Amino acid sequence: MRYRPHEHLIEPARASAGLGRLAAGVISFIAAFVLLSMIISALINTVAQSLLSPMMRPFWDQDLANASSPLAALVNLYFFLAMVFALAIALWLVHQRPLRGLVGPFALALRQAVRVIKATVPILLLTLVLPMPEGMEMRLNIAPGLWAALLPLTLVGLLIQTSAEELAFRGYLQSQLAARFSHPLIWIGLPSLLFGLLHYDPHIDSTSAGIVVLWATCFGAATADLTARSGTLGPAIALHFVNNSGAIALAAPEGNFDGLALFAFPFSIEEADKVLSLMPVEMLVLLCSWLAARLALRV
């Protein structure tokens, strides 16, 4: 495998590659994220209590949990800023590394990201015109005018969300493990599995939850591979951004992060049979997107 460019990200991690430092970094990251999350959640609750009547608050809480209104979905996306700041704190405290060091050469990362976006957006758009099984056709979810007005905020929020996750899993965890272990099964496999498991939702059907975990693990492996082949975080962020743009801004399952989606599928993520029927298509789209990104990058 052509992973030599990965050295751009591994070399800065070598000075603090011990497993003890990694454990301390992860614990610091989690602690900082929990603390920041509590502060932000308290601020959100304070604002909600001052603006909403007691009768309306339960509806807002439900919207926020499911990201099923435009405002609730935006709050969920921008909440990922807490993850970015928490990671920056952990890097500074434990590894004495700057956050930007997780990205690699920035100009190169940006050029690679643009190439991946150009290569994968057509695949995303193609999936929107593919015929759906009977009873699973997309329906209009929000007014096109409102969707277009919110689109700039949506795209910035998606960039924050996807960048935060890639910085944490591919930028930090993958590079630190790769600086300690040489086998890709460890530094690709472990972060990808953890990424998948963190997508597990105990509140939905176990079959649906397992399908989501499987897909997220495969997606994590694809972005990890692109990161190692390209030597920057640009391609991983780009692929993640395009994927989530489709799943959050264009078409989402009903009642599950559909607050900003132009279209919605007439089923929820809890309906295991519907989710399972889409899995082959989702896996094929992921495979095609990964290959298209590699072709665009020539890696």
Mean pLDDT of 151-163: 98
What residue numbers bound the domain in which 113 lies? Answer: 4-297
Q: What is the pLDDT of residue 153?
A: 98
C-alpha to C-alpha distance for 158 and 180, rounded to whole angstroms: 32
Report the residue count for the chain. 299
Please write the tens of the pLDDT for every residue from 6-32.
999 999 999 999 999 999 999 999 999
pLDDT exceeds 70 at position 242:
yes
C-alpha to C-alpha distance for 246 and 136, rounded to whole angstroms: 17
pTM for the full model?
0.95
Which of 109, 76, 78, 89 is CA-nearest to residue 30?
A: 89
- Neighbouring residues of 113: CB distance < 8 A, sequence distance ≥ 6: 234, 235, 237, 238
- Neighbouring residues of 86: CB distance < 8 A, sequence distance ≥ 6: 29, 30, 32, 33, 35, 36
Please write the tens of the pLDDT for every residue from 211-226.
999 999 999 999 999 9
Q: What is the pLDDT of residue 209?
A: 87
Q: How confident is the model at residue 1 (pLDDT cuts 50, 70, 90)?
A: low
pLDDT exceeds 70 at position 107:
yes
Our measurement of the distance from residue 98's CA atom to the centroid of its chain's CA atoms, rounded to an integer in Å, reads 21
How many independent structural domains does the chain possess?
1
N-to-C CA span, the chain? 10
